A and B are shown apart, each in its own frame.
Chain A
Amino acid sequence: MKKLDLKDMIVNIDLLLPHKLQMTLKSEPGKTIRPFEVITEVFNLPEEIIKQASIVKQGTVRNTRNA
């Protein structure tokens, strides 16, 4: 098990609509978090609901703030 602080990994998280969420996640070598994990941990939704959700990756950029 690896200990992670989600506050470090979630750069941005916004509710666009009650059922629609946008989030920006930071990843670095050896330290990544997936949207599935974020929704599970933050919203504590049942696995089947999350599995049926549509998750679309909008894009990736290099993190120039830390680079």
Chain B
Amino acid sequence: MSIKTIQDILPLVEKPSRYLGSEINRIKKDHSKIKLSIALAFPDLYEIGTSHFGVQILYNILNKHKEIAAERIFAPGVDMEAYLRKFKISLMSLESHKPLNSFDIIGFSLLCELNYTNVLTILDLANIPFFSSQRDLSYPLIIAGGPCTGNPEPVADFFDAIVIGDGERVIMNIARTWLKWKDSCKDGKENLLKMLSHIEGVYIPAFYEPKFDGSGFQTILPKFSQYTNVKRAIIEDLDKAPFPDAPIIPYGKPEHDRLRLEVSRGCTRGCRFCQAGMLYRPVREKNITTLLEAAEASIAATGYEDISLLSLSTSDYSCIAPLMASLMDKCESRHIAVSLPSFRAGTLTPELMNQIKRVRKTGFTIAPEAGSQRLRDVINKNISEKNVIDTVKYSFNLGWQVIKLYFMIGLPTETDDDLQSIIDLVKELRKIRGPIRQRGKINISVTTFIPKPHTPFQWAPQISLAESNSKMRWLQNNLNMPGIHFKWQNPEVSLLEGLLARGDRRLSHLLVTAYKKGCKFDGWSDKFQYQLWKESFSEAETDVDFFTTRARDMDESLPWDHIDIRITQEFLKKEWENAIKGEHTPDCRWGDCSDCGVCDFNDINPKVFERNKEETTKEIQAKNQIKPFYKKLKVSYSKQEQAKYFGHLELANIFFRAMSRAKIPVKYSEGFHPMPRVSFEDPLPIGMESLNEAFYIIVPDDMKSKAIVKNLNKHLPEGLFINDCRLAPAKTAINTSKLSTYLVTLKKGFFDKEKLQRFRKNAEFVIFQKKERET
């Protein structure tokens, strides 16, 4: 086979559009004109990585500078990885297909410990040594950021620098420092690291040395007296932070295929298990005007049909009701839905839900976390059973049919009665009926609690694998009832996550061992191989219980002690004591300061707007508009080059969004889930080009066909082109046969003339076709 580039591999792999890098709003620069190239690496598949808002923020910030080019790279699928290895092709960035090892900086986003082995895959495929100590100046600077850096120690040896805190606060400082260092003739790696260590929020692992005592406890010792801890970087005012209002629209089916609008950062509800609640303090809300402007600009730039309000607890946003009302006023006529991915039971009023369902009903998730009030008090999850029941009642009454509930097992102080309470609560919820007495569907998702660094539970033991398995099985048996769908995270996965979450520097060797055995995509149930991990624990001499099921002494030094996320140890200890007593700590955003240590009350303060006390449910005025006449148009297009890799649904989405960006007012269907009235002719198989395909749209009678062609062509990715648009025939013949002509060109080899002659001579040539074919 003649395979020399990634382009040659595309026809052979699943979801080839993942690797094209030609999405709408992506930025491709001329590398001969830039001084600094940065690869933003996400150690998971394209569909997951493109759903991460942080990468979009950094991409936007960096690319605003003409001297800097930021490009993306994701972990390749296992099929692509196999081809890259087989044909010795280096991993490349999406935008300019530049080999990863030729970038100046590679920045990894670490969102989940289960992605760590994929970091090694990416480095390996780029021919970059894993350990920072093995890399000289001929290699890129390898950095990381994201929530996992709360305890960076298990991966610290891999990185030259690690960002602690808000990336947008730090990234340009790193870029400027690198440029300054480059201008000073690239004077030694250690010199660069020293320069970087002066930036608040930058951790240089090489400047700290781990020491281990006879019992295996790590103490981390700074090498320089002026660099003894690393303080988290905080962006004080989100309104002033750059917002990516023209985000890249991923191909395929990304995990979050919608516009994301970050309404606030940080949550001070104080759930004692929640690491994000500690890592992102204080609450910093965005102004409603900023949000509405960002929404308008982003919709125009993307054509998305869904907006998701992003934050740790969106319904806590102080102006949520007026924001929703204003957004819905803007969105309803454009058939754009608004969803709240995270909210607390008890905060979502029927008025707010009425707003959400004005366009279409989006998903609905509640996280009681624990079944009993006692245990919810322990974890400071201040919602009552009544809150949960009322919220489910509202949602079923308003027409939602599926509710998702999250619970955890193994929380500190948990007893059998607490588990029984989950069953009791679910049974109560099952009794709730909708307006026509129908029963909704309830999806229950259960995970094993993992104590995380920088939380009040950081000293707590994680329950053992055996206990976790036994509790999951018990819940599964007892929740086996009609209308309930039980889903649980594999306890082995939770054990690994727990190990990596609170591990120390010794675990980098465990990760390399596991990687070499074939561990990758550990967060994917179909790829996770616990047997290989068990072998790795043994080979790397990792005492899993030491890191997971062992209760820590409150005075022992922890591997993350030098990472100052600005929350004091005193606060965490006090919160642990309050947990044991079941005492509530109120949310400081509306009450007294809980003295966690984050705010300095000069630059760093909670930023919360006054709650809007106005009536939030404006009556939706009946619009007395004259209904336009409509016509049906046939739009003919060609699909060539890279566009041949778009699957049919993917192509439909590309056209829907392009029409939205081009402001073509396609008619929508009626009902609960309005959809654009667009229909396609027979789908083309992935990998096939076509000079002339067609789809049909229904638009107002006064729309000009030529304008559609011109405007739509401005908004299509490479390879798609509108050839023509004209009135569709009154009746499209459905039951007639068609003749299609194809031109086939082999890249390698020839067609056998004799076989063709044989075919021609035969009176018949019978084949057996599988009924369900892949397209």
Contact = CB atoms under 8 A, between A and B. Distances in A.
Interface of A: 1-7, 11-13, 15-16, 18-29, 32-37, 39, 41-45, 48-49, 51-63, 66-67
Contact of B737 (A7, A13, A42, A63): A63
Interface in B631-688: 640, 682, 684-685, 687-688
Contact of A53 (B684, B746, B755): B746
A19 to B, nearest CB: 4
Contacts of A28: 736-738
Contact of A22 (B11, B682, B743): B743
Contacts of B743: 16, 20-22, 54-56, 58
25 contacts: A1-B770, A3-B769, A5-B765, A6-B766, A7-B762, A7-B763, A12-B741, A13-B759, A21-B751, A22-B742, A24-B740, A28-B736, A28-B738, A41-B765, A42-B759, A49-B748, A52-B8, A52-B747, A52-B748, A53-B744, A55-B687, A55-B743, A56-B743, A63-B736, A67-B737
Contacts of B730: none
A3 B222 CA distance: 74
Given A2-B770, A18-B750, 19 more contacts: A6-B759, A34-B773, A36-B685, A37-B769, A42-B755, A45-B746, A45-B749, A49-B747, A49-B749, A53-B746, A55-B689, A55-B743, A55-B744, A57-B689, A57-B740, A58-B741, A59-B691, A61-B738, A63-B737
Contact of A6 (B12, B739, B750, B767): B767
Contacts of A41: 765, 767
A17 B744 CA distance: 10
A61 B739 CA distance: 5
Given A27-B737, A34-B685, A51-B687, A1 B11 contact: no
B215 interface: no
Contacts of B436: none
Residue with the greatest number of chain A CB neighbours at <10 A, chosen from B693, B737, B753: B737
Interface in B751-775: 751-753, 755-756, 759-760, 762-771, 773
B626 interface: no
B696 to A, nearest CB: 15
Given A13-B759, A42-B755, A1 B739 contact: no
A34 to B, nearest CB: 6
Contacts of B756: 13, 15, 42-43
Given A52-B11, A63-B737, A57 B751 contact: no
A62 B742 contact: no
Interface in B681-715: 682, 684-685, 687-693
B733 interface: yes
B113 to A, nearest CB: 37
Given A13-B759, A52-B8, A25 B766 contact: no
B: contact size bracket: 35 or more
Given A6-B767, A7-B765, A67 B736 contact: yes
Contacts of A52: 1, 8, 11-12, 747-748
A24 B737 CA distance: 13
B661 to A, nearest CB: 27
B1 A15 contact: no
A27 B747 contact: no
A18 B686 CA distance: 25
A6 B756 CA distance: 12
A57 B8 CA distance: 20
Contacts of A60: 692, 738-741
Nearest to B750: A18
B123 to A, nearest CB: 29
Contacts of B8: 52
Nearest to B760: A13
Given A43-B751, A55-B744, A4 B737 contact: no
Residue with the greatest number of chain A CB neighbours at <10 A, chosen from B682, B740, B764, B768: B740
Contacts of B768: 1-4
Contacts of B769: 1-4, 33, 37
A48 B744 contact: no
B679 to A, nearest CB: 16
B744 A24 contact: no
